[in-house]
Chains A and B, each alone.
Chain A
Amino acid sequence: MTPDDALTLARTRRHFFRDCRVGVGAIALGSLLNRDARAAEQAPPPRAARRDPLAPKPPHFPAKAKAVIYLFMAGAPSQLELFEPKPELNKLHGQKVPETFTQGKRFAFIKGDAKLLGSGRKFAQHGQCGMPLSELLPHHRAIVDDVCWLRGMKTDVFNHGPAKCFVNTGSPQFGRPSMGAWLTYGLGSESDQLPGFVVLQSGPRGPRGGAALYGCGFLPSHYQGVPFLKGPSPVLDLAPPPGYDARRQGEFTAAVNDLNRLRHAATGDPETEARIAAYETAYRMQSAAPELTDLSKETKETLELYGAEPGKPGFAANCLLARRLVERGVRFVQLYHTDWDHHGGALDLGKPLETICREIDRPCAALVQDLKRRGLLDSTLVVWGGEFGRTPMGEKRETTGRDHHVDAYTMWLAGGGVKPGLVYGETDEIGYNVTENPVHVHDLQATILHQLGLDHTRLTYRFQGRDYRLTDVHGTVVRDILA
């Protein structure tokens, strides 16, 4: 909002108050506004008039999707164990990689003499699209024709932290706004009781990179991702202090805002009106957020579909929460699930990979199916993937795993106006390089914004003398995959 807009709205607001005010006595005003606070949910003034910076804004062009659910597989899943059967790689198992592949490449851990590693996983083709899926993802078979499979993903960065930052913010340097921040900056959010950009986490540890991955960078802090906490109070400081029930908290909010209104009458500063609106929204959030995270209202059948249990945090509960958030108008839901970093050693491609696949397989499939049957899949873009892929070469620690690979890996998209049942992109016979239809991270970002009705070259913010954008100076919308 420009300051000019703010002032226009301030005028609207002032008139609103003048028209509503019935007496000049502070007590009369107070009791009126007290009632006002209780009735806030019934008839709040329009959000724009409340100077709510997250009020919905029109997109650049008609949008296909209204919301994004990003299932971030943190640590980088192995495409060669999940989506990419490579008989030739299995045949070459144990041999050195032909130098033509590795020349000039850099890796995190493996050295130049690494040997190729075949995959022991069984694959079969599924659905009308014939996408091969490994035995590790049995539930994904049910959504195989709802999903657009991107097998030619490429990225630039081969260490976890910077690579996650790259996928989330378009830059490997920490401190840029994340995709969710850009989207809420560009579009606002339809919910005025919940944050527009919510972050949900599961797995043994948080994603490497921490808060920078869902930060707002140089954008105002309205747009930063709000990490939900486990437990009944999902937002920080949501619970009133000890001794305050809802009525007493309401009295508190009314007293603060009455005094704010009196000061506003003396100073005329629109910021005070924004502060009043923020206290009203915060008050509403205190009842809306616990209701949101209470999964006991879901049917037994739905809970089973996801494999979720009320009161039990985890990836399954988070997928179900993501649907509930999108239903309530939240713009961007970012999930992180750790840890996919299967180098060998404690995390290898045997049991540890099987365990994490079991954790995510069913909830991911359930989310797509559940959105679809509720008619939400068309307007919700689901994104699945890690920060890079894993090498066709093995990495020997105590046990064998795979190193970080930036040149070819797999992600998938579902809903949000993306072609269902499309297998897009090919890699060579050992899965080292993309041979057809590569999609770079910046292309994916441009495409996600496009589906939300935003031109990635026009969604900019001026900082340090430069117009910054999510895709930096790169990115092309992948039109081939749009429905």
Chain B
Amino acid sequence: MPLPVPLLAVALVAPPAAAGPVDYARDIRPILANACFKCHGPAVQKAKLRLDTRAGATKAGVVVPGKPDDSPLITRICAADDDGRMPPPEAADRLNAGQVAQLRAWIARGAEYPPHWAFIPVRRPVVPEIRNPKSEIRNDIDRFILARLEREGLSPSPPADRSTLLRRVTLDLTGLLPTPPEVADFLADRSPDAYEKAVDRLLASPHYGERQARHWLDLARYADSNGYTIDGPRSIWPYRDWVIQALNADLPFDRFTVEQLAGDLLPDATRDQRVATGFHRNTSFNEEGGTDPEQFRVERTVDRANTTAAVWLGLTAGCAQCHDHKYDPLSQKDYYRLYAFFDNCDEPTLPLGGDPDLEAKIADLQRRTVESRLAGNDAETKRLEAEVTKASKGVPTTLVMRERKEPRATFVHLRGDFLRHGDGVRPGFPSTLASPAVATAGRLTRLDLANWLVSPDNPLTARVAVNREWQKFVGRGLVETENDFGIQGSLPTHPELLDWLAAEFHTDWSFKRLHRLIVTSATYRQASAVRPDLRARDPRNLLLGRQARLRLDAEVIRDAALSASGLLNPKVGGPGVFPPQPKEVFAFTQSQRTWTESTGPDRYRRGMYTYVWRQSQHPLLTTFDAADAQTACTRRNRSNTPLQALHLANDPVFVELAAGLGKRIEAQSALDDPGRVRWAFRTCLARDPSPAEAERLLAYLESQRRSDPLTAWAAVARVLLNLDEFITRE
């Protein structure tokens, strides 16, 4: 029988416990938003009343600061008769006594509407003291987490098994499994800083940059094709490799930002800095005949504005494309000021090496190709496409941004329709986020935008960035709505920790130092097992009284299976590759493309190098919730479906990898059956099997020997690659 429901109802919720004085954002705004804003809010103001601003509420006299008894707001919500009460019965339920008491207390204290937390500059908070001397504290992160747990009367979980911990941190930092010797070395190293040494080894691995780059490429909507219906191939993998190298070199996040948004505008821009501007060339590109090129140029520009706002500001700017943002202080004009930064770009192809005139030649051919395609001249288009291929033969190319000499005139698009021009606008920062001092006499450029994003007076960038990094290591951001730091977003579970991390990150913008800080904390190192007391009190694990068990990302599932099979080709970078996939899948798109299966070592490259064909992504990627490469993906889903089971169990790639692992197990000729089972467990799960697990797997081995002695170990390997634990980091 399930436990009675009321027990669940007392479970903890996201905001801090309602202790202390009433807080507008935490206590009052949710009440008003649910009960009042629909008719008296940003969008609609019935009776000319809006309650979402102090001016609106007090001007109308509905709220009299300091005097709850004289405030019609209170009398109306307490009206005895349903006819007169607010909110009216058809709109919402009557407010309960607790809510009324909170509103009274808030008005009594002056009915303040303090500014939204995320728009206030970051101030480094004081690290809290921890009372319990037995608490395990490895760095200041733990003090923030423990302080909150202590307040709730909860205790953290003990450290994870050392082998679990090594598998966890290896997967999180490099996306690969630890090898059995790495596990053995780690278990044998009893020095107090054994774990820190392992972390440093992983941070220095070239595979660190690969794993972290794949997270960033989700934001960059990276793909190897143009998208829309024609979905032709494109060459932009040098941008992908730039990201890997930048993260391996620990390029500080401010430089990382500036080079991607405006590398071409830096004085004496290097080739790498130009390659970095590929970030905003990852937009889809419509090649369909009969399209209006301006319409799709506008769509790419809109995507660039929206992506920039989502990735650096954690704001849903897209809402303001058609109208002033309903919740956040972003007017439609603000939106088109942001848009204007990107409205002034050409989109050239950069050859990496070769003849110095090649860039101009390719540009000319590409211009003619586009014109021919739009005119519906198929034969000429084909001929020109072949010429482009010929011209760039042997020389890798990549897509970059370039500022136009003559700026385009930018206008507000009325209702988001690019054909309906409103007022003219110039590039500018959102007015409520930037101090007026940053406005200059000259025209602002993408470089100014990038510099402003990482400047100390920007309240959002560092918070948004550290929140996403935190999410990588515990599965959820401190702000759960990692893509919305606006007023509608959720409040941070640990606001002080978020600001402390943001302040730390801001000192040197080093990803590696931030990651080291997180993964060496006791918080990160806890066991992930679900504890009964936590399950009852904090079912969503918001307070982090334990680590999280997280299903691996699509590419990492492949990488883990490749690691276990011994077939992994560890090569870093280079053009996309074509691991096997069922033919019928790829034959599905409109324009037939060829998927020439990679042979030799390229068949066994890491998942992140699989050619990303936007409209027909490899089934591994779609089945396991990879980013769709259409818009910036700030967090992947983690679904759990029968199609995933079919894929792992039956897909020829995984069957091949299981066979590879089977051969490796058999090759352990010095070991008996139980020894081999133990070896296979260590290889896949970095731990020894329990007696029950070993017994079950040996029984399965026997049954498979009866079916086919030659493939019995491959069958055992296949079971291991299909375990929930195999595709999970615990």
Residues of A within 8 A of B (CB): 3-4, 7-9, 11-12, 15, 25-27, 29-30, 53, 106-109, 159-162, 173-175, 195, 201, 205-212, 215, 217-222, 224, 226-227, 229-231, 235-241, 243, 248, 251-253, 255-256, 258-260, 262-264, 266-272, 274-276, 278-279, 281-282, 285-286, 404, 463-466
Contact = CB atoms under 8 A, between A and B. Distances in A.
Interface stretch (B200-208, B432-440, B711-719): B711-719
Interface string B639-653: 111111111011110
A263 B588 contact: no
Given A159-B286, A227-B588, A263-B724, A465 B292 contact: no
A253 B531 CA distance: 28
Contacts of A404: 290
Interface in B682-704: 690-693, 695-697, 699-700, 703-704
Interface string B561-596: 000000000000000000000101101111010000
Nearest to A212: B615
B719 A26 contact: no
Contacts of A229: 582, 584-585
A272 B726 CA distance: 11
Given A211-B616, A252-B718, A258-B696, A266 B529 contact: yes
Contact of B715 (A15, A205, A252, A266): A252
Contact of B286 (A161, A253, A269): A161
Contacts of A248: 704, 707
Nearest first, the 6 A-B pairs at minimum CB distance are A108-B290, A465-B484, A161-B229, A175-B630, A210-B615, A268-B530
A255 B11 CA distance: 36
Interface stretch (B1-9, B239-247, B361-369, B455-463): B1-9
Given A161-B229, A238-B650, 9 more contacts: A8-B5, A212-B630, A221-B641, A237-B647, A237-B650, A255-B697, A271-B551, A275-B645, A464-B310
Given A175-B630, A271-B549, A465-B486, A108 B291 contact: yes
B145 to A, nearest CB: 20
Contacts of A3: 539-540
Contact of A160 (B229, B549, B640): B229
A208 B588 CA distance: 10
B231 A210 contact: yes
B628 interface: yes
A243 B711 contact: yes
A221 B615 contact: no
Nearest to B651: A237
Interface string B1-40: 1110100100100000000000000000000000000000
Contacts of B529: 266-269
B489 interface: yes
A174 B227 CA distance: 9
Interface stretch (B46-54, B136-144, B342-350, B617-625): B617-625
Given A109-B376, A243-B708, A267 B530 contact: yes
A161 B228 contact: yes
A278 B645 contact: yes
Contacts of B617: 211
10 contacts: A7-B539, A26-B696, A210-B231, A224-B622, A229-B582, A237-B650, A248-B704, A253-B649, A267-B549, A282-B645
Contact of B229 (A8, A208, A222, A465): A208
Contacts of B291: 108, 159
Interface in B657-713: 690-693, 695-697, 699-700, 703-704, 707-708, 711
Contacts of B288: 159-161, 208
Contacts of A281: 642, 645
Interface string B527-542: 0111100010001100
Given A26-B693, A27-B696, A251-B703, A256 B646 contact: no
Contacts of B643: 195, 221, 226, 235-237, 282
A205 B692 contact: no
A278 B641 contact: yes
Interface of B: 1-3, 5, 8, 11, 227-229, 231, 284, 286, 288-292, 299, 310, 315-316, 318-319, 327, 376, 481, 483-484, 486, 488-489, 528-531, 535, 539-540, 549, 551, 582, 584-585, 587-590, 592, 614-617, 619, 622-625, 628, 630-631, 634, 637, 639-647, 649-652, 655, 690-693, 695-697, 699-700, 703-704, 707-708, 711, 715, 718-719, 722-725, 728, 730
A334 to B, nearest CB: 13
A237 B649 contact: yes
A12 B315 CA distance: 40
A25 B691 CA distance: 10
Given A464-B310, A465-B489, A236 B619 contact: yes
Contacts of B319: 465-466
Contacts of A231: 584
A7 B534 CA distance: 12
A263 B723 contact: yes
A256 B719 contact: yes
A256 B622 contact: no
Nearest to B287: A161
Contacts of B290: 107-109, 159, 404
A211 B618 CA distance: 11
Q: Is the interface of B mostly helix, strand, loop or mixed?
A: loop
A220 B722 CA distance: 21
Contacts of A161: 228-229, 286, 288
A255 B647 contact: no
A236 to B, nearest CB: 6
Nearest to A473: B322
Contacts of B700: 251, 255
B1 A259 contact: no
Given A8-B2, A267-B730, A262 B639 contact: no
Contacts of A251: 700, 703-704
A236 B642 CA distance: 11
Given A212-B615, A221-B637, A237-B650, A255 B696 contact: yes
A246 B708 CA distance: 15
Nearest to B624: A221
Contacts of B318: 464
Contacts of A278: 640-642, 644-645
Contacts of A15: 1
Given A159-B286, A465-B484, A259 B719 contact: yes
Contact of B696 (A211, A220, A222, A262): A262
A18 to B, nearest CB: 11
Contacts of B641: 53, 221-222, 278
A11 B11 contact: no
Contact of B724 (A212, A253, A260): A260
Nearest to B658: A241
A236 B489 contact: no
A146 B568 CA distance: 59
Nearest to B703: A251
A262 B646 CA distance: 21
B285 to A, nearest CB: 12
Contacts of A268: 529-531, 535
Contacts of B634: 464
A276 B642 CA distance: 9
B692 A271 contact: no
Given A11-B3, A464-B484, A221 B622 contact: yes
A9 B551 contact: no
Contacts of A279: 642, 645, 649, 722
A476 B289 CA distance: 33
Given A3-B540, A220-B637, A175 B631 contact: yes
B693 A256 contact: no
